Chain A
């Protein structure tokens, strides 16, 4: 693994909700063309960390760096302007609209004030094709007619349609069957291959070992390691890290705090 500069970096992030200290001096880095898995038990602070990066919960202290320079993320708009997109677990698609309409929701193309359906449809097709999506019958299908995996695909495509640089996927395979999980994981890999910095939040260690290049386990609000995935990385090791914050098999040169 080359130690390139992180595309996006959170440094020394602290966040409290009332008296609860949810994030402790969290350092987290996303590299271009790399899938970084963020794993941890329920309540470890994964979602809160994501929400600070997405501008939904600005941190109490700490800073963000994008391409090496310090940036302010003071709201969802700032995050979107930097090209940070989050695909939440509930996907947030409109079932009564079709695939193209969902992909362009809120950023519709217009010609003289009227919707430019033709351009949107073509670009939607190209985006889906570039992601290798072949499971959709038509880009004019209503989302309500799609399967869970197809919806996930649409939600991910929506996130990458906009020259995004960092895509954060919150448990993208949680509700999917075996075949659909495979499709979505392949899509996650392909996102990284196109040069995006991909963050994968997951509970599923098998999924994580299959697609991630690096793993950041969280334990009680702290990032306890920054591991490159090697053939020796084991599920047991990861489970130990997220349940106790320590691991015996930490000999791959990773940073353990």
Chain B
């Protein structure tokens, strides 16, 4: 008794009539109802990445108007993407802790220690063993945190607070006080700062768009062919247009007129960060492990009763957090081609947590995606980038203000974080 229903799916529910009993249970089949459903979800408190996208648009407009010659340039775009990359990767690390409703205050120092291991090993070893050692150390630090939280039962806030001191101490011992370790390895130096060739950029963009389109189509098939085709086409064409525009801009020479060599092509951080996002997304949304992480973050007791080994999930999450922080450390080191006692220190961790939260990942656990870290990282990197270019201005009432000063940058980043966490808290309150 297979019949075709209006949306083209086959009614194979059998004699129980499962499909007809859920007459309302159809994914929206036209564009308008799909948009309506998204709006309803937002009213229900699930704002997702919307605030971050809004913030990016607002900040870009403000800075674009404030310094039209310097902000909206190819050089600054590439520069901005590279500035954002390390925050984004460490924010992805912290996201693993946040998804469980936990925190890792020491992720910045995990990055620092791993970077220091990488830099010191590279003084004697070749790239592969050095990188593997650095990654192993990052995993070990994460495993240690996870053990303390999941097996010993200490709150993650306290464990990682102690870790801040522990890891900072290790970092100081590794690079020796006041010293710094230079990085000479070409591959590590190229990670942040070098570009794909223009031809490779186009190949990469074409491949990425093709993969994205294939994924959209596959997801639509998996949901029984439902969902409006118009929305799929709109999404794909928006992403395609954006990617082509960015590639076109970055493939032109962006060096200063009297520079010795042209600079062109997509910064290498773009494919690397994108690959990390796709990989971790797959892990979180398409595997049992990912599902169990969301379950533990949402209701640990329910997860335990469902037979999930909650302690093991916590241990694994902190281990992954450590590994990702270690990769973030490579980004930090590559940006300045050296490691010193301040690598991963100062505001690194605050920016990472801030990026995840601004992107829409909840501090209360169970809600968030890896893409949030990217969007939030963009917001937090836009603020110092734009403010530096604004520089000294004379304002009507306040008089002269140096927007490029650290004071103004901290205040703006702090305000952005506060606004984002207010949105998170308010959206969780029923009836708001």
Residue positions of A touching B, CB distance < 8 A: 77, 80, 88, 90-97, 101, 105-108, 110, 113-115, 117-118, 122, 125-126, 128-130, 133-134, 136-140, 142, 144-145
Most buried by A among B24, B302, B367: B302
* B294 interfacial contact with A, CB 8 Å: yes
A134–B21 contact, CB under 8 A?
Answer: yes
* B129 interfacial contact with A, CB 8 Å: no
**Alpha-carbon separation in the docked complex, A144 to B366 (Å):** 12
B297–A96 contact, CB under 8 A?
Answer: yes
Partner of A115, one of B17, B287, B307: B287
B366–A129 contact, CB under 8 A?
Answer: no
B295–A94 contact, CB under 8 A?
Answer: yes
5 nearest A-B pairs in the assembled complex, by CB-CB distance: A106-B306, A96-B298, A96-B366, A94-B298, A129-B18
B44–A138 contact, CB under 8 A?
Answer: no
Interface 1/0s, chain B 278-300, versus A by CB < 8 A?
A: 00000001111001101101110
Q: How far is the CB of A14 from chain B (nearest CB, A)?
A: 26
* B232 interfacial contact with A, CB 8 Å: no
A138–B288 contact, CB under 8 A?
Answer: no
A106–B25 contact, CB under 8 A?
Answer: no
**Contacts A107-B307, A118-B224, A137-B25 given; does A126 touch B294 at CB 8 Å:** no
**Alpha-carbon separation in the docked complex, A130 to B22 (Å):** 12
Contacts of B299 in A (CB 8 A): 92-96
Q: How far is the CB of B149 from chain A (nearest CB, A)?
A: 20
Contacts of A91 in B (CB 8 A): 302
* B305 interfacial contact with A, CB 8 Å: yes
**In chain B, residues 201-221, which have Cβ atoms closer than 8 Å to a Cβ of chain A?**
none
**Contacts A126-B18, A129-B16 given; does A113 touch B287 at CB 8 Å:** yes
**Alpha-carbon separation in the docked complex, A150 to B29 (Å):** 25
Partner of B308, one of A106, A137, A138: A106
Q: How far is the CB of B225 from chain A (nearest CB, A)?
A: 11
**Contacts A125-B18, A129-B16 given; does A94 touch B302 at CB 8 Å:** yes
**In chain B, residues 74-116, which have Cβ atoms closer than 8 Å to a Cβ of chain A?**
none
* B301 interfacial contact with A, CB 8 Å: yes
**Taking CB as reference atom, which chain A residue is nearest B22?**
A125
A126–B288 contact, CB under 8 A?
Answer: no
**At the interface, is chain A mostly helix, strand, loop or mixed?**
loop
**Taking CB as reference atom, which chain B residue is nearest A94?**
B298
* B13 interfacial contact with A, CB 8 Å: yes
**Taking CB as reference atom, which chain A residue is nearest B286?**
A114
Interface 1/0s, chain B 1-40, versus A by CB < 8 A?
A: 0000000000001101111011011010000000000000
**Alpha-carbon separation in the docked complex, A162 to B14 (Å):** 20
22 A-B pairs whose Cβ atoms sit less than 8 Å apart in the complex: A96-B298, A96-B299, A101-B295, A105-B302, A105-B308, A106-B295, A106-B306, A108-B288, A114-B286, A115-B291, A117-B223, A125-B25, A126-B14, A129-B13, A129-B18, A133-B21, A137-B25, A138-B22, A139-B22, A140-B25, A140-B27, A142-B46
* B303 interfacial contact with A, CB 8 Å: yes
Residue positions of B touching A, CB distance < 8 A: 13-14, 16-19, 21-22, 24-25, 27, 44, 46, 222-224, 285-288, 291-292, 294-295, 297-299, 301-303, 305-308, 366-367
**Alpha-carbon separation in the docked complex, A97 to B298 (Å):** 8
B366–A92 contact, CB under 8 A?
Answer: no
Q: How far is the CB of B281 from chain A (nearest CB, A)?
A: 12
Contacts of A138 in B (CB 8 A): 22, 24-25
**Taking CB as reference atom, which chain A residue is nearest B368?**
A96
**Alpha-carbon separation in the docked complex, A39 to B22 (Å):** 35
**Contacts A92-B299, A136-B25 given; does A106 touch B44 at CB 8 Å:** no
Contacts of A110 in B (CB 8 A): 287-288
Partner of B222, one of A80, A117, A130, A136: A117
Contacts of A130 in B (CB 8 A): 16, 18
Q: How far is the CB of A160 from chain B (nearest CB, A)?
A: 14
Q: How far is the CB of A31 from chain B (nearest CB, A)?
A: 26
**Alpha-carbon separation in the docked complex, A142 to B295 (Å):** 12
Partner of A92, one of B17, B287, B302: B302
**Taking CB as reference atom, which chain B residue is nearest A106?**
B306
**Taking CB as reference atom, which chain B residue is nearest A143?**
B298
**Alpha-carbon separation in the docked complex, A133 to B288 (Å):** 27
Partner of A105, one of B21, B46, B303, B366: B303
Q: How far is the CB of B23 from chain A (nearest CB, A)?
A: 9
Contacts of A137 in B (CB 8 A): 24-25
**Alpha-carbon separation in the docked complex, A142 to B301 (Å):** 18
Q: How far is the CB of A251 from chain B (nearest CB, A)?
A: 43
**Alpha-carbon separation in the docked complex, A177 to B195 (Å):** 64
Contacts of B21 in A (CB 8 A): 125, 128-129, 133-134
**Alpha-carbon separation in the docked complex, A79 to B343 (Å):** 53
Partner of B19, one of A80, A108, A115, A125: A125
Contacts of B303 in A (CB 8 A): 94, 105-106
**Contacts A125-B19, A130-B16 given; does A93 touch B302 at CB 8 Å:** yes
Contacts of A114 in B (CB 8 A): 286-287
B366–A94 contact, CB under 8 A?
Answer: yes
Most buried by B among A94, A108, A125: A94
A105–B22 contact, CB under 8 A?
Answer: no
Contacts of A90 in B (CB 8 A): 301
Partner of A96, one of B13, B22, B294: B294
